[in-house]
Amino acid sequence: MDRLKANSKQRAVIDVQGVVQGVGFRPFVYRLATQFKLSGWVRNTSGKVEIEVEGKKSDLTEFLRQLKTNPPPMAYIEYVGTTYSTPAGYPDFRIRASVSLKNNYQLVSPDIATCKDCRNEIFDPDDRRYHYPFTNCTNCGPRFTIIEDIPYDRPKTTMRAFKMCRRCEQEYNDPLNRRFHAQPNACPDCGPQLELVDAAGKPVKCTDTFWKAAELLKAGKIIAIRGLGGFQLACDATNANSVNLLRKRKHRPSKPFAVMVATTSDVKKHCSVSTDEINLLESPQAPVVLLRWNNKKSGIAREVAPDLKYLGVMLPYTPLHHLLLREVGAPLVMTSGNLSEEPIAKDNDEALHRLKGIADYFLLHNRGIYARYDDSVYMVEESEQVTLRRARGYAPYPIHLPFKSKQILACGAELKNTFCLTRDDHAFISQHIGDLENAETLEHFEQTIELYKRLFRIEPEVIACDLHPEYLPSKYAARIAIENKLPLLPVQHHHAHIVSCMVENGVETPVIGVAFDGVGYGTDGAIWGGEFLVMDWHDFRRIGQFEYVPMPGGAAAIKKPYRMALGYLYGLLDDGFSLEGLPMAKLNANETAIIKQQIQKRINCPLTSSVGRLFDAVAALTGLTYESTYEAQAAITLEMQAPDKFGRGKIITYPWSFETQNGVTVIKLKELFSAIVDEVRNGVAVSEISLKLHRTVAQITVDMCSRISLQTGITQVALSGGVFQNRLLLKLTTDGLRQADFQVFTHRLVPCNDGGLSLGQAVIANFKESKSSLIFP
Ligand SMILES: [Zn+2]
Ligand SMILES: [Zn+2]
């Protein structure tokens, strides 16, 4: 009887959703169906993959099991729906033409690093793709950067400019080939080509482009390389002169550069790496990973990442990079092809114009880049991947929301901008857009919003933005809200930070939010950044904060941390305080006198509670760093001074006190600064001061959370804000909170810095209207 049932024929009608297009899914289905002798068809629609298969019940069951458990490497299945009916009598199994359905959408695959099979081909002299820099297959290569609309088919990508040759077409049409329906499929006969030109755009005569480019790099030249999502600037990372020249030309005096290293075993020559870090480096996403740098033993120039313990390292992720790295035989600096703070250049003419004066040569190609796409940056903490910059390999893959969302556009922060568009249970956070401080980046921001709206068929019902009215994204939000007659919801910066952390951890119940960052606009008009919030997705109450201190000159105090140090010293300490005996006494006496007056008379001195500024100020007070040429440089330099190994004995901290003002517990810092001033005057080592400051801030956090927990009963703490990129502080704080029996949530999938803000904004905007807050009835 059972046997009879198993042999009876049935038809299964299957829907598959997720990243299932452009990743070799239909050939996989075809092979699987053929293997089980099932007939029917598979096709892409703009919403999903549809499959009908018929055959023996037992074969259908096994087909479905393998479909779910063994998909191609780049596929990500979110949902499989199956219904059964009577067989339709299909004679064979076919791949049907794609169908575009109105208002449907699908997930789009990120660009993926070159797979092993393709790598083998480009290094095999007998292969027809030997040394061909645009080799790819369904398991690897460009996706998001070339797609203009859905469904994902060649005519809707920038590859439509290239007509496949006979051999490529055969591969493309052969369901058993690895290149079946690989939209960017190409070969030396029919695909994109590389060209090496000089700074004037004149072709460089050579027989082998890679050999010539490598020769130039080894001679110390800077080459602009058109990569996957835009141009990169490359130079020999072991040549200090080249690195310095690149810094000078790019107007980037000390912000660290990332390096590309040929192989994992080469990485080990320069850095200490854990298994988790190797796995991340070698993953299909192949991001930049911050690794512990053995800079004394490494041949990589110190100038690549001055004063830092960590080096941003990535492996080659396109055939072009593999071929170039192999030829050069040394690690290359590989940094975004832009002048500081502009968006990355993506087109040939644009690069020749904008990178003029920076690059000596240009390695160009003629495969169009539709979307700009920077390298992603990650670190591994406690064996988990932590996102610092989310772009290549990750975006536009969405974050899953634990609820069905309205269609919302959240415009994000001004620095490290990303935006977020929501639909259903998907939050599409854009790739890293950059600092929205100039017209070029704003244009990039607006174009990318339009691309995401089109790809994912989203028409926003609500516009969210930061509370800061002067942020460019906030101004954009206000403008389009008026133009489209949509509600505009400004969201407080730190509320958004913490909600972003809650959502990616699936936490809905109230938390104590600890938001430490550099600058965020507060509801009282002050600059917040050292905040303890009792909150949920709907609302928040500020229940604790670091004491307000004057920030002499406002933004000037961010770039010049000594101004901030003076803000703490003259703002908090007794009137008779003088700089005598401190390294800062050597600063220009006229300037410090003017700043002192500015502070005492409160002229252009906005108030701030920022923890980022606290670290900056201590860095300056110790004489370590007086100016920051990149965001948080002083604070980062101070973090780097702390010893790597320290005992677990009695924790020594600086003194501080709590004071309650209008229901808010304020952390008073006068005693802390007096103590540090004494230590600096007494010549205590900066490393000791640094560690003690980190421990103090961690202990303040634990004590404050314990007080709040006593009042509210809340035992969940979420940590967010750019300050938690500080690995030492993150570790000391999470350890301390866990020892005090708190459940601690930190970021993994989205950055704790302002790059993660848009997600929080979108979620808050979704719930703002409803009145179901758990803590604020
Ligand atoms: Zn491949
Ligand atoms: Zn071809």
Asked whether residue 109 carries a pLDDT value surpassing 60, the answer given is yes
**Predicted confidence band at 342 (pLDDT cuts at 50, 70, 90)?**
confident
Question: Which among 502, 531, 530, 544 is positioned nearest to 710, based on CA atoms?
Answer: 544
Question: Which among 436, 242, 470 is positioned nearest to 358, based on CA atoms?
Answer: 242
Shortest-distance ligand to the CA of residue 189:
2
Taking residues 313-322, report their average pLDDT. Answer: 98
Shortest-distance ligand to the CA of residue 322:
1
Shortest-distance ligand to the CA of residue 74:
1
Q: How far apart are CA 457 and CA 350, in angstroms?
A: 30
Within 10 A of 190 (CB to CB), how many other CB atoms are there? Answer: 15
Taking residues 110-122, report their average pLDDT. Answer: 96
Taking residues 720-727, report their average pLDDT. Answer: 98
Instruction: Dig out the tokens for 630 from the structure.
Output: 């990149």
Instruction: Dig out the tokens for 550 from the structure.
Output: 């004057």
Asked whether residue 86 carries a pLDDT value surpassing 50, the answer given is yes
Asked whether residue 108 carries a pLDDT value surpassing 60, the answer given is yes
CA-CA-CA-CA torsion sign (145, 402, 702, 648): negative
**Ligand 2 centre distance from Cα of residue 522 (Å):** 58
**Ligand 2 centre distance from Cα of residue 204 (Å):** 25
Taking residues 653-662, report their average pLDDT. Answer: 96
**Ligand 2 centre distance from Cα of residue 460 (Å):** 42
**Ligand 2 centre distance from Cα of residue 367 (Å):** 14
Instruction: Dig out the tokens for 193 from the structure.
Output: 């080509």
Q: What percent of the chain is predicted at pLDDT more than 90? A: 87
Angle between helices 561-572 and 670-681 (to 10 degrees): 120
**Ligand 1 centre distance from Cα of residue 365 (Å):** 20
**Ligand 1 centre distance from Cα of residue 285 (Å):** 13
**Ligand 2 centre distance from Cα of residue 322 (Å):** 21
Contacts of 14 (CB under 8 A, 6+ apart): 50, 51, 52, 53, 64, 67, 80, 81, 82
Shortest-distance ligand to the CA of residue 132:
2
**Predicted confidence band at 5 (pLDDT cuts at 50, 70, 90)?**
low
Q: State the average pLDDT for the chain.
A: 94
Task: Kindly report, residue by residue over 197-241, the tens digit of the pLDDT.
Answer: 999 999 999 999 999 999 999 999 999 999 999 999 999 999 999
Shortest-distance ligand to the CA of residue 159:
2
**Ligand 2 centre distance from Cα of residue 122 (Å):** 14
Shortest-distance ligand to the CA of residue 135:
1
Taking residues 68-80, report their average pLDDT. Answer: 89
Asked whether residue 3 carries a pLDDT value surpassing 70, the answer given is no
Within 10 A of 626 (CB to CB), how many other CB atoms are there? Answer: 17
Question: What was the pLDDT predicted at 776?
Answer: 57
Shortest-distance ligand to the CA of residue 191:
2
Question: What was the pLDDT predicted at 93?
Answer: 95
CA-CA-CA-CA torsion sign (149, 150, 156, 159): positive
Question: What was the pLDDT predicted at 1?
Answer: 43
Question: What was the pLDDT predicted at 339?
Answer: 79
Question: What was the pLDDT predicted at 101?
Answer: 73
Q: Where are the beta strands (DSSP E) in 694-745?
A: 716-720, 743-745
Q: Residue type at 768?
A: K
**Ligand 1 centre distance from Cα of residue 319 (Å):** 10
Burial class (CB in 10 A: 0-12, 13-18, 19+), 446: middle
**Ligand 2 centre distance from Cα of residue 164 (Å):** 5
Taking residues 455-477, report their average pLDDT. Answer: 95
Shortest-distance ligand to the CA of residue 129:
2
**Ligand 1 centre distance from Cα of residue 109 (Å):** 14
Residues with CB under 5 A from ligand 1 (ion): 115, 118, 137, 139-140
**Ligand 2 centre distance from Cα of residue 183 (Å):** 12
CA angle 640, 641, 642 (to 5 degrees): 95
Question: What was the pLDDT predicted at 73?
Answer: 79
**Ligand 1 centre distance from Cα of residue 151 (Å):** 21
Asked whether residue 358 carries a pLDDT value surpassing 70, the answer given is yes
**Ligand 1 centre distance from Cα of residue 104 (Å):** 29
Q: Are 72 and 180 in contact (CB under 8 A)?
A: no
More confident residue, 104 or 219: 219
Contacts of 705 (CB under 8 A, 6+ apart): 512, 514, 532, 717, 737, 740, 742
Within 10 A of 50 (CB to CB), how many other CB atoms are there? Answer: 16
Lowest mean pLDDT among 26-35, 482-491, 549-558, 563-572: 26-35
Task: Kindly report, residue by residue over 753-772, the tens digit of the pLDDT.
Answer: 999 999 999 999 999 865 55
Taking residues 312-322, report their average pLDDT. Answer: 98
Shortest-distance ligand to the CA of residue 122:
1
Taking residues 492-516, report their average pLDDT. Answer: 97
**Ligand 2 centre distance from Cα of residue 112 (Å):** 21
Task: Kindly report, residue by residue over 32-67, the tens digit of the pLDDT.
Answer: 999 999 999 999 887 789 999 999 999 999 999 999
pTM for the full model? 0.94
Question: What was the pLDDT predicted at 153?
Answer: 85
- Length in residues, the chain: 777
Shortest-distance ligand to the CA of residue 167:
2
Q: How far apart are CA 623 and CA 641, in angstroms?
A: 12
Asked whether residue 407 carries a pLDDT value surpassing 80, the answer given is yes
**Predicted confidence band at 114 (pLDDT cuts at 50, 70, 90)?**
very high
Lowest mean pLDDT among 15-29, 81-95, 183-197, 735-749: 15-29
